[in-house]
Chains A and B, each alone.
Chain A
Amino acid sequence: MSTVNGTTPVEKIDFSSDQEVRWCPGCGDYSILKQVETLLSQSGRKKEEVVFISGIGCSSRFPYYLDTYGLHGIHGRAPAIVSGLRSVRPELSVWMITGDGDALSIGGNHIIHLLRRNVDVNVLLFNNEIYGLTKGQYSPTSPEGAITRSTPMGSTDHPFNPLALVKGADGTFIARSMDRDPKHMREVLARADAHRGTSLVEIYQNCNVFNDGAFEVFTEKASKPEHTLFVEQGKPLTFANGTKGICIKEMKPRIIDIGPDFSPNDCWIHDERDNFKASILVRLFEDPRHEGAFPRPFGVFYVADRPTHEEKLQGQVKRAKEVKGVGDLDALLNGGHTWTIG
């Protein structure tokens, strides 16, 4: 994928399709659609070079709203469709739109393999901690005890920590953003787009109909400073308007008060290339209602360079052609071990 030039747009292109957007009024998806459109139009990329692949769910209607190529697939299988497409068309810019149910429940087996293979695709995982299109059942990211239409007495399931799962599957680009912070989302998406390999961005997205306010504590002005941690490359991990920070002591993260005892220099300096620190960062996932809980990190947690799957596949085809010569059908049919009659 070509690098995005975020500051000097080459040419503004309208990426909207002629289709009416049919999400519920007030849905967080609108904000994500807008940021993606803005990013694409600023990137100078041609519409025909972009493909959106999705599964099933509210988020997965996304491809219909963009004037690019698009395939609305079946539940959970978008990663597999993407893998096939990228294997044969590595020059295209491929985006995958999925949700917490689509990616982590029915498609759980595919997403982990997409990540380990490092297929070059930008995965936008809209996490709203609920099933929206089927009208309000708990999802694999709903907190334990969640009261939903299918769990009137509360969910008995322990939820996934999506980014820890991504890290466990050796994802090469791991990031988190939120629908209520468009600027941050745009920056993170631009980074994801520039990365070669599977870029997975978890986006906290509010479902105002079935799970309104699920991420309120991270998005509302009053609670946001205390409960969020925006990581930036080379900068200390500070939050609460710079009054608090996170340091690592005896291999464990700790919250410190910046002031007479500690300065920002005592904090953990974010290094998105640090594999082990990334493993700790994705684990800062405590219930914000608990006293002394770590703030929830946002931003680019981890970036690694690893050859993409399609590069390796195409490399083998290229090498086979070099070593054996471009396939000759007659030689193949002959097989090299024949006899003649007559």
Chain B
Amino acid sequence: MSTTTLKTKPVESRQNVVILFAGDSGDGIQLTGSQFTDSSALFGNDVSTFPNFPAEIRAPQGTLAGVSGFQLHFGSVEVWTPGDQCDVLVVMNAAALKANLHKLKPGGTIIANTDGFDKKNLRLAGYIDEADPLTDASLAHYRLHSVDITKLTRAALEGLTLGMKEKDRCKNMFVLGFINWMFNRGMDNSERFLQQKFGKKPDLLEANLRALKAGYHFGDTSETFTTRFEVKPAPMPKGTYRSITGNQGTALGLIAGAQKAGLDLFYGSYPITPASDILHELSKHKNFGVITFQAEDEIAAISSAIGASYGGALGITASSGPGIALKTEAMGLAFMLEIPLVIVNVQRGGPSTGLPTKTEQADLWQAVHGRNGEAPIPVIAASTPIDCFDMAFEAVQLALEHMTPVILLTDGYIANGAEPWRFPAAKDLPAITPPTVIAKGDEEEVKRSLADLHDASGKFLPYIRDERGVRPWALPGQPGLQHRIGGIEKQDRTGNISYEPKNHELMVKLRAEKVARIADRFKPIRLDSGPTEGEVLIVGWGSTYGSIRTAALELQAEGVSVAHVHLRHLFPFNKGLGPLLKNYKRVLLPEMNSGQLRQLLRAEFLVDIHGLNKIQGLPFTSAEIKEAVLNLMKP
């Protein structure tokens, strides 16, 4: 069926649209959202998404606590955020409306499933006296479309042998079909998806296809909808694209890094929200020499990764804040051993269990400082779902080439969010070259051929350093290189236990210097946008990128003297950062915490920095950032 040709109603063109799907956490909202995202991306729009769901798998039905949402921003122009406010709000019940109405633009469109507005739902959502907002004129400022999605779906599935519960589960496909119609999308992609998902269950396939088509035809035939919208393809750079979430990006970046180093990848992990998807993704790719180890706890997860790195694989572990806290002691061990290890923290709201499914950037201090003794570990951060790939690759590069644990910070917002990715060719990724010692021949030959790694008496020196301060990686199994390493303080060069006071001071300094020298390899710092000097510099890090970029570009277009720099290296800092900060009258630092990077920058560079801090488990809107810049510029 070629539904795209049924253009019986006028089509209105829009530059970009934000649509928010909301319903009970069991309503299949995430699937509707991600499928429509997929279709939009395939159509050529730029997209950015924000799935937002409760921590409970199935929170009580009909309540505000159980509302799950999926926000999609798609455009014929570049989009950098899921959008501050939405143009279209699709709600499956009263609670979904109540929880999200404030996000709808004045005059925006509401599509409401009337079946979700019965007395019980109204009561659960907290509407006083069970007053129905769909009928009491309280939504007069919006374009309201009340549709009995449940009834229409059931009608479309009449005659099928499925139970009522299973039929009602197809409501999300009715919605998808309708939205496809509303935004003038073809149905091919949605149909292909259903074929793949339900190919082996013909009755479910039939039901979902019928619901999908019913939704589409409803739009076409119902008289309440007079207009459809069109969002033309965006002028994206030429190339081949795919859609990718941040956690997928991280997983692929890690595999790509291991492949470029010619190593097997060992991933030790304990399930935790929102990091588990990295484990799920990696476990699918065992044919790349990937071993995933679901450990008994977070400590075993990182310790097993240390064991794997000791054996010569690329050891990786990931978690979120509470799990990272448990890994702290082992991070110190990896630092002390000077062994490659990547630690990914997909941050979530803290402290303690905090807000498991909400986002925050509050683990920066934990990453930079959170170990006993002086144990500086490189900390880098990803800013977008795509950037998760690049930064995961860089984390592998730094860990292997500098023999150190590296912490990669992402967060729940970009980990679950998706965007179109013009993925690189494998050949364009740089080779990664760890300082692996290759021993050939027997013990005596090894001592001769690798004399520079041995002392005069022929003892291998595991802690001898190259000009960057990096020690050799000598793997067990090779003759002439036997050595012992440990978390206890070691003698310079030999690695033997040493409590000698001056030696300890020397070792602390040598280890710190090695990490500090990593900054030598960073590319010169580059502004994301704006003038190289002026009134205001917005400094950002991590997932605030999209909102800051949008705000900065809009302000620049309005003639405001504002620039944006986004930091990927949080320890050590890029050497060009200090001078850059001094080129502007004021510096603004938006963070989803109480000012953690601000304090680090002030301490490092002795410059005043103004914070914009949001600690609500939610990303910034670009409007919030614009307002903060303008306020800062007021005399």
Chain A complexes with chain B: yes
Binding site for B on A (CB under 8 A): 17-19, 46-49, 51, 53, 63-64, 67-74, 77, 79-89, 91-92, 109-110, 112-113, 313-314, 316-317, 319-321, 323-327, 329-330, 332-335, 337-342
Q: Does B578 contact A (CB under 8 A)?
A: no
Whether A332 contacts B307 by the Cβ 8 Å rule is no
Q: Which A residues touch B290, using CB under 8 A?
A: 317
Q: Does B108 contact A (CB under 8 A)?
A: no
Q: Does B476 contact A (CB under 8 A)?
A: yes
For A46, A53, A83, A321, which residue has the most chain B Cβ atoms within 10 angstroms? A83
Whether B310 contacts A320 by the Cβ 8 Å rule is no
Q: Which A residues touch B268, using CB under 8 A?
A: 80, 84
Q: Given A18-B459, A110-B300, A317-B291, A84–B482 Cβ distance below 8 Å? A: no
Shortest A81–chain B CB gap in Å is 4
Which DSSP category, helix, strand, loop or mixed, fits chain B's interface?
mixed
Shortest B549–chain A CB gap in Å is 21
Query: 6 shortest A-B CB distances, which residue pairs?
Result: A342-B238, A72-B486, A84-B307, A327-B288, A84-B304, A80-B303
Q: Does B306 contact A (CB under 8 A)?
A: yes
Q: Which B residues touch A113, using CB under 8 A?
A: 295-296, 300
Q: Given A69-B482, A80-B303, A320–B308 Cβ distance below 8 Å? A: no
Q: Which A residues touch B239, using CB under 8 A?
A: 340-342
User: Whole-angstrom distance between the alpha carbons of A48 and B233 in the complex?
Assistant: 61
Which DSSP category, helix, strand, loop or mixed, fits chain A's interface?
helix
Whether A72 contacts B476 by the Cβ 8 Å rule is no
Whether A80 contacts B304 by the Cβ 8 Å rule is yes
Whether B485 contacts A71 by the Cβ 8 Å rule is yes
Q: Given A87-B291, A110-B296, A333-B423, A70–B485 Cβ distance below 8 Å? A: yes
- The 8 Å CB contact of B307, one of A18, A48, A64, A80, is A80
Q: Does B628 contact A (CB under 8 A)?
A: no
Binding site for A on B (CB under 8 A): 38, 41-42, 44, 233, 236-244, 252, 255-256, 259, 264, 266, 268, 285-291, 293, 295-297, 299-301, 303-313, 315, 329-330, 332-333, 337, 423-426, 429, 443, 459, 476-488, 496-497
Whether A327 contacts B259 by the Cβ 8 Å rule is yes
- 10 A–B contacts from the bound complex (CB under 8 Å): A48-B477, A49-B477, A71-B307, A84-B307, A87-B307, A88-B291, A320-B287, A332-B255, A332-B288, A334-B240
Whether B333 contacts A338 by the Cβ 8 Å rule is no
Shortest B357–chain A CB gap in Å is 25
Shortest A311–chain B CB gap in Å is 12
User: Whole-angstrom distance between the alpha carbons of A100 and B382 in the complex?
Assistant: 43
Q: Given A72-B487, A333-B426, A327–B477 Cβ distance below 8 Å? A: no
Whether A88 contacts B311 by the Cβ 8 Å rule is yes
User: Whole-angstrom distance between the alpha carbons of A47 and B484 in the complex?
Assistant: 13
Shortest B217–chain A CB gap in Å is 26
- The 8 Å CB contact of B300, one of A80, A85, A337, is A80
Q: Given A71-B484, A334-B242, A341-B238, A317–B287 Cβ distance below 8 Å? A: yes
User: Whole-angstrom distance between the alpha carbons of A321 and B150 in the complex?
Assistant: 46
Q: Which B residues touch A53, using CB under 8 A?
A: 307
Whether A77 contacts B303 by the Cβ 8 Å rule is yes
Whether A87 contacts B496 by the Cβ 8 Å rule is no
Whether A48 contacts B300 by the Cβ 8 Å rule is no
- The 8 Å CB contact of B311, one of A73, A79, A84, A333, is A84
Whether A67 contacts B487 by the Cβ 8 Å rule is no
User: Whole-angstrom distance between the alpha carbons of A329 and B427 in the complex?
Assistant: 9
Shortest A236–chain B CB gap in Å is 40
Whether B487 contacts A73 by the Cβ 8 Å rule is yes
Shortest A318–chain B CB gap in Å is 9
Q: Which A residues touch B237, using CB under 8 A?
A: 341-342
User: Whole-angstrom distance between the alpha carbons of A83 and B295 in the complex?
Assistant: 9
Whether B44 contacts A339 by the Cβ 8 Å rule is yes
Whether B291 contacts A64 by the Cβ 8 Å rule is no
Shortest B308–chain A CB gap in Å is 4
Q: Which B residues touch A83, using CB under 8 A?
A: 293, 295, 300, 304, 307
Whether A46 contacts B296 by the Cβ 8 Å rule is no
Whether A81 contacts B482 by the Cβ 8 Å rule is no
User: Whole-angstrom distance between the alpha carbons of A139 and B527 in the complex?
Assistant: 59
Q: Which A residues touch B44, using CB under 8 A?
A: 339, 341
Whether B266 contacts A88 by the Cβ 8 Å rule is yes
User: Whole-angstrom distance between the alpha carbons of A341 and B305 in the complex?
Assistant: 40
Shortest A324–chain B CB gap in Å is 4
Shortest A295–chain B CB gap in Å is 35
- The 8 Å CB contact of A47, one of B311, B330, B482, B488, is B482
Whether B312 contacts A89 by the Cβ 8 Å rule is yes
Q: Given A64-B496, A87-B291, A48–B241 Cβ distance below 8 Å? A: no
Shortest B37–chain A CB gap in Å is 12
- The 8 Å CB contact of A340, one of B240, B296, B309, B483, is B240
Q: Which B residues touch A323, using CB under 8 A?
A: 287
Q: Which B residues touch A64, using CB under 8 A?
A: 484, 486, 496-497
For B44, B233, B300, which residue has the most chain A Cβ atoms within 10 angstroms? B300
- The 8 Å CB contact of B256, one of A80, A112, A333, is A333
- Chain B residue, CB-CB nearest to A314: B291
Whether B479 contacts A48 by the Cβ 8 Å rule is yes
Shortest B92–chain A CB gap in Å is 27
- The 8 Å CB contact of A338, one of B242, B297, B426, is B242
User: Whole-angstrom distance between the alpha carbons of A109 and B303 in the complex?
Assistant: 13
User: Whole-angstrom distance between the alpha carbons of A87 and B312 in the complex?
Assistant: 11
Q: Which A residues touch B426, using CB under 8 A?
A: 329-330, 333
- Chain A residue, CB-CB nearest to B329: A74
Shortest A99–chain B CB gap in Å is 16
- Chain B residue, CB-CB nearest to A309: B293
Q: Which A residues touch B236, using CB under 8 A?
A: 341
- Chain B residue, CB-CB nearest to A326: B287
Whether A77 contacts B293 by the Cβ 8 Å rule is no
